[in-house]
Structure 1
Amino acid sequence: MNPTLPSGMQEEADKIKGDAIGNTMYSERWVLKTLIKLSEKYMDYTSSDDYRLESDLEGDLGLLWDMTIEPDVAKYLMDHNALDIIMDVLKFSGSPRLIEIMVGILGNVACEEEVRRLIGSNAELIKIIINLLTFTDSPTLLQLVRLLTTCIWNVAKETKVTVEEGGDNVAEIDSLEEGDCLWTRCLREESELVCRSINFILASSRNAELLTATLGLLESLFNLTWYSGDHFCKQFSTVECIQALMEALKEVTSHAGDESDSQANLRRVEAACAHWITVVHRMTYHHQGRNALREHAEAVCDLVGRLWPQPSEGSTVHTTLATELLEALSQQGEPEDGGGGCSPAG
């Protein structure tokens, strides 16, 4: 049995507990004070040259960012209209550091289903988030790509339909009804910007963490419309994207053999390779993708042959995808697809 606290200490403990957010020890008053400070100060940082924030503001916002991994804190922020404040900051601030923190907070709170629903019901916020892909600050882009991947992956995962495949065979597949999802509609409306921005990141970034995350985002985009026209797969099936994908994988794997590689770096290389082969393999599912890949067939085959050995007993699914990719590229060109759904090469 715990000893009884003296009356003075008990009163202080009750005050702390009464100010705590949910089951955490974080203070409600402190969070509200920080939100108020943010709403009063963000217009002081409208320039893209504002890399440094007032030290007290940056310290408080950094702490708030850390706190948002707690579900109770995420819920508390939503209950106090934090999304509206964050949206205003993203609309009017040009400060890379301030935008990075705001997007990072969104990325944390978006791990909660309720928050994802709130974001997914706000077309203006979704469009602001998508348009941030044109930002050039790598730390901000890393947080942005993680946020987009979280939201898009869950949109594809959580929407299920049942499809009958002849007779009595019924298969449950992940699918998406285009007209029912703001995320999908907004992404399609901004397809050109999304493609251009992702290609630019893949082709020009030297940040292995950002490149790996962007490859994961591209895989999530492809999964978003697998059963609804494969829109993004076709949008990205261009010679420019193939070139960007090649540059990205070369950059991520360029130091993979160094003795100084940490386990984290090796895991990052493995993740990048897995995303890459999945994305490129998906491009072989229609005529446009196969033609784009054949423009760089020699280079693609060389890279694939070096990174994925010949299949053997116990081969991974990604080795199998690599083999199928090589087989698709070795075939002669086919006539144009009929314009309907996707069908595998071969």
Structure 2
Amino acid sequence: MKPDAETLETNEEADASVAGDAIGDTVYSERFVLKILLKLANLDSLKDEVKDKSFEDDLCTLWDMTADKDVVLFLQKHDVLNLFNFALPTIETPRIIEIIVGIIGNMCCQRIAVAKLIKMENFLRLLLEYIKTDDSLVLIQLLRLVSSALFLAECEDIPIWMNLFESVGYSEALYFILKNSSHKQLLITAIENTNSVCSYCNTDNVRTTFYARFVNVEAVVSLTTAFTEVVVNQKESCEKEELERVLLISLQITLNMVGFENASEKFHSCKDSVLSMIKHILLYYEDKLINQKEIDTDLVDIVDSTITIVNLLQLSESSAIDVFFVPCHNMWKAMSVATKSHQNGNSDFEDSNEDLAQISKEIKLPLCNLLCGYVLKCSETHLLTALDVINGDYEIIVCEVDSEIRNNVSRRATNYRTRLKEIIDS
């Protein structure tokens, strides 16, 4: 953790006021920053400086300062990336490396710094080589740096990133982290980074390269392993917001991985892992909806993504009903009951009638599509159980989907439902 810099910032504010050397519109002192840069530039004394706690504290203060755009522009004016390129190879202290990589990561929240960094391929390669370190804190800062830089990278620069990723074995190292680490914050950051790579490197001009370097069974196995460690093993230590972020982007990553030809064959060996991940996600939102009485609009995207993954990997054929069929049916019933209760003025949900009606409409249709898709594709044994589960709701659910799906589901379910009706009548 970075030390509290409140006292240092107060002192620097006073110095800036007296000396008139404030950086831009900030209260930060130019003199203070330049003093640090001079120490970094002097290699003869730098090895001794990095052992000094006061130097580490000053660097931490600079790290905090780089959250301000004016400070980043000031550092850019003094060519600080070249200075880091000059100094970093001589530094072996992990804490100092973490801070410097963190500073660069903050700078990469500004487009001007990202544009400069991509022109320094050797330096960027040096930074990316840290993906092989075993220091979790350095890794966290590097992954954040890469995610921020990809977000602001120009389209024409993505091929450069892809070549650099290949040259340092980035994907292999990233998947190793996901598969083997138990450090919660590192895993969450690595999942975020994987999502960034999938979002910004799976584009038309590099899609073939992305597929060759990032899309493989190891990627999905590593993702689902990290997912289980965070969402299952360390769930209690997660903030609600970060947990839900992991749930959402894990599905997004999986979508990017399976959105190519022959996905079902390619990922045949890890279908059970994907089903387990889907089950945990849907059970979380089932609990949130039914027990906590919270309607989450992300649920629409989650169910839509689940439908796509289930179809591409042909998961309905092998999935037991408790994986996604039962949770989705329970959520569908909860939304149906909530809508009726709200209209009668006695709902536990806080949403207005209009909002609840709109959200219900948006959520119930994809739920019906997922339920009907399962009925259409599941094994004969699972079909009988599934139709037993939704027996009283069958007609309503089937009427929600489009005519082609409705007709196909009706044809498959006819014999069973006829027998069921005969048993009831008798």
Question: TM-score, normalised to structure 2's length?
Answer: 0.62
Q: Which among 15, 18, 36 is matched to residue 16 of structure 1?
A: 18
Q: Which among 190, 193, 216 is matched to residue 238 of structure 1?
A: 216
Amino acid of the structure 2 residue aligned with 1:321: S
- Matching residue of 2:170: 194
Question: Following the alignment from structure 2 to structure 1, what is the Cα–Cα distance between the partners of residues 254 and 96?
Answer: 35
Question: Following the alignment from structure 2 to structure 1, what is the Cα–Cα distance between the partners of residues 120 and 273?
Answer: 43
Q: Where is the helix percentage greater, Structure 1 or Structure 2?
A: 2
2:313 aligned counterpart, secondary structure: helix
1:119–1:126 contact (8 Å) kept in structure 2? yes
Question: Following the alignment from structure 1 to structure 2, what is the Cα–Cα distance between the partners of residues 75 and 266?
Answer: 35
Question: Following the alignment from structure 1 to structure 2, what is the Cα–Cα distance between the partners of residues 29 and 150?
Answer: 28
Indicate the structure whose relative CO is greater, using CA pairs within 8 Å and at least 6 residues apart: 1
1:296 aligned counterpart, secondary structure: helix
Question: Following the alignment from structure 1 to structure 2, what is the Cα–Cα distance between the partners of residues 128 and 18?
Answer: 37
2:66–2:72 contact (8 Å) kept in structure 1? yes
Cα separation, partners in 2 of 1:87 and 1:257, compared to 1, 3 Å: closer
Cα separation, partners in 2 of 1:20 and 1:44, compared to 1, 3 Å: closer
Amino acid of the structure 1 residue aligned with 2:188: T
- Matching residue of 1:83: 81
Question: Following the alignment from structure 1 to structure 2, what is the Cα–Cα distance between the partners of residues 200 and 276?
Answer: 17
Matches within 5 A, 1:118-133: 118-133=116-131
Unaligned runs of 5+ in 2: 1-13, 290-294, 317-426
1:100 aligned counterpart, secondary structure: helix
Amino acid of the structure 1 residue aligned with 2:159: T
- Matching residue of 1:173: none
Offset of residue 152 of structure 1? 0.7
- Residue identity over aligned pairs, in percent, reads 23
- Matching residue of 2:244: 270
1:298 aligned counterpart, secondary structure: helix
Question: Following the alignment from structure 1 to structure 2, what is the Cα–Cα distance between the partners of residues 13 and 203?
Answer: 49
Cα separation, partners in 2 of 1:101 and 1:140, compared to 1, 3 Å: same
1:208–1:252 contact (8 Å) kept in structure 2? yes
- Poorly superposed stretches of 4+, deviation over 4 Å: 12-15, 41-46, 309-314
Question: TM-score, normalised to structure 1's length?
Answer: 0.75
Amino acid of the structure 2 residue aligned with 1:202: L
Question: Following the alignment from structure 2 to structure 1, what is the Cα–Cα distance between the partners of residues 120 and 15?
Answer: 40
Amino acid of the structure 2 residue aligned with 1:190: F
- Matching residue of 1:327: 311
The structure with the larger Rg is: 2
Task: Single out whichever of 234-243 and 317-326 deviates more from structure 2.
Answer: 234-243
Question: Following the alignment from structure 2 to structure 1, what is the Cα–Cα distance between the partners of residues 279 and 44?
Answer: 51
- Matching residue of 1:55: 53
2:16–2:27 contact (8 Å) kept in structure 1? no
2:184–2:234 contact (8 Å) kept in structure 1? no
2:188–2:230 contact (8 Å) kept in structure 1? yes
Question: Following the alignment from structure 1 to structure 2, what is the Cα–Cα distance between the partners of residues 320 and 20?
Answer: 51
Question: Following the alignment from structure 2 to structure 1, what is the Cα–Cα distance between the partners of residues 104 and 215?
Answer: 30
Amino acid of the structure 1 residue aligned with 2:35: K
Cα separation, partners in 2 of 1:290 and 1:189, compared to 1, 3 Å: farther
2:94–2:135 contact (8 Å) kept in structure 1? yes
Matches within 5 A, 1:103-122: 103-122=101-120
Is 2:208 the counterpart of 1:212?
Answer: no
2:23 aligned counterpart, secondary structure: coil
Question: Following the alignment from structure 2 to structure 1, what is the Cα–Cα distance between the partners of residues 104 and 181?
Answer: 23
Offset of residue 16 of structure 1? 2.4
2:42 aligned counterpart, secondary structure: helix
Unaligned runs of 5+ in 1: 1-11, 160-175, 333-346
Offset of residue 19 of structure 1? 1.5
2:227–2:246 contact (8 Å) kept in structure 1? yes
- Matching residue of 1:225: 202
2:235–2:243 contact (8 Å) kept in structure 1? no
